[in-house]
């Protein structure tokens, strides 16, 4: 049975992508996103939690990321998990890092008059995505849904047309 390690993340870039090339000329882009989570604690207080995720893109999607992605921009990333392990030469300690190898990404519009969506995929060329038409405010849900663990709203701050699936 195959291991399922696919991930889908929405977050904001914490820095501009750093694009380098392998000796054979393949582009590699390293970037990081901040994934935010808001929830209501047991005491009723609203809490925010941020997780920083390192992401690597390869080939054409790495070039597209380097060309179009900028610090602070919201993106949707699909990819797979990869665990890197090594021994620190200075201390001799074993180290590890979990990261995402990006396979696809989409630009998400900013609230203040975004620029449209486009993205790349690991296997080939950059793709363009069209943002769906905005639904009238009357048809939007008035209350965000809560997750099944009662830890707080899972869609707070998001409208239906911002969910990438």
Q: What is the pLDDT of residues 60-114, one digit of tens each?
A: 999 999 999 999 999 999 999 999 999 999 999 999 999 999 999 998 876 544 4
Q: What is the pLDDT of residues 92-105, one digit of tens each?
A: 999 999 999 999 99
CB 108 within 8 A of CB 116: no
Tell me how long the chain is. Answer: 165
- How far apart, in whole angstroms, are the C-alpha atoms of residue 133 and residue 98? 37
- Reading phi first (left if > 0) and then psi (alpha if -120 to 50, else beta), residue 152 is in left
Task: Tell the CATH topology of 6-157.
Answer: OB fold (Dihydrolipoamide Acetyltransferase, E2P) (2.40.50)
Lookup: tokens for 156: 């707070």
């Amino acid at each position: 049975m195959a291991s399922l390690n696919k991930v889908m993340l929405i977050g904001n870039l914490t820095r501009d992508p750093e694009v380098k090339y392998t000796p054979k000329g393949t582009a590699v882009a390293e970037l990081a996103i901040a994934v935010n989570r808001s929830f209501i604690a047991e005491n009723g207080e609203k809490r925010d939690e941020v997780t920083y995720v390192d992401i690597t893109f390869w080939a054409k999607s790495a070039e597209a990321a380097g060309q179009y992605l900028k610090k602070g921009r919201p993106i949707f990333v699909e990819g797979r998990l990869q665990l890197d392990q090594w021994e620190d030469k200075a201390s001799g300690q074993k180290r590890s890092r979990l990261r995402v190898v990006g396979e696809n990404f989409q630009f998400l519009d900013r609230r203040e008059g975004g620029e449209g969506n486009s993205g790349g995929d690991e296997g080939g060329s950059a793709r363009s995505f069209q943002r769906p038409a905005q639904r009238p405010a009357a048809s939007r849900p008035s209350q965000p849904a809560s997750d099944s663990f009662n830890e707080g709203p899972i869609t707070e701050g998001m409208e239906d047309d911002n969910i990438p699936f």
